[in-house]
Amino acid sequence: MAIYTATGQRTASASAAVAALENPASGPVRGFIYRLTFGSEATPADNPYLWQIQRSTTLSTGGATTPGPIALDGADAAATLTFRNGALTDGSVTANAMALSVPLNQRATFQIFLGPGEEIVIPATANNGAHIRTPTATALAVTTTCFFRQ
């Protein structure tokens, strides 16, 4: 299995995801998210908001897919899973299918490390994925870094 990292940035939106890690329409593979970082690079202020990882069944659109996930071992092939970030429009997210939900103050940074067998799994199903969302955020600059293997 190869491991990859990808970073998503945008001005947070309550209605659109910060980033989405998704399977393509053909040749899907299982993805395993094992490490995540959430935070804001805006001027420090007290703004509580929520980060969520929500499962999705159709592809997001817009935003940017470059530079794409970076293989931590340079000898590995490019990732099959695509990582879209920026001004994207959400795909169909599954109601109540939250893999992670973390309330956070804008001043704080959150990191989570998931051991083997404990990862957030993206099924090898066409167009399925996970959206990294901030459903209650005001318009502040946010960043997430996602480490995954496939």
Nearest distance from C-beta of residue 129 to other proteins, angstroms: 13
Nearest distance from C-beta of residue 86 to other proteins, angstroms: 25
Nearest distance from C-beta of residue 52 to other proteins, angstroms: 11
Q: Which residues bind other proteins (CB under 8 A)?
A: 25-28, 30, 44, 53, 97-100, 102, 104-105, 107-115, 117-121, 123-126, 128
> Which residue's CB is nearer to other proteins, number 15 or number 26?
26
> Which residue's CB is nearer to other proteins, number 62 or number 109?
109
- 32 Cβ contact list (under 8 Å, min separation 6): 1, 119, 120, 121, 122, 148, 149, 150
Q: Positive or negative CA dihedral for 110, 115, 116, 119?
A: negative
> Which residue's CB is nearer to other proteins, number 66 or number 96?
96
User: Please, are residues 16 and 131 in contact by the beta-carbon 8 Å criterion?
Assistant: no
> Which residue's CB is nearer to other proteins, number 86 or number 123?
123
Task: Kindly list the distances between the CA atom of residue 140 and the CA atoms of 9, 25, 27, 39, 49, in Å, as whole numbers in the listed order.
Answer: 11, 32, 36, 10, 10
Nearest distance from C-beta of residue 113 to other proteins, angstroms: 5
Amino acid, res. 11: T
Give the whole-angstrom CA distance, residue 142 versus residue 111: 14
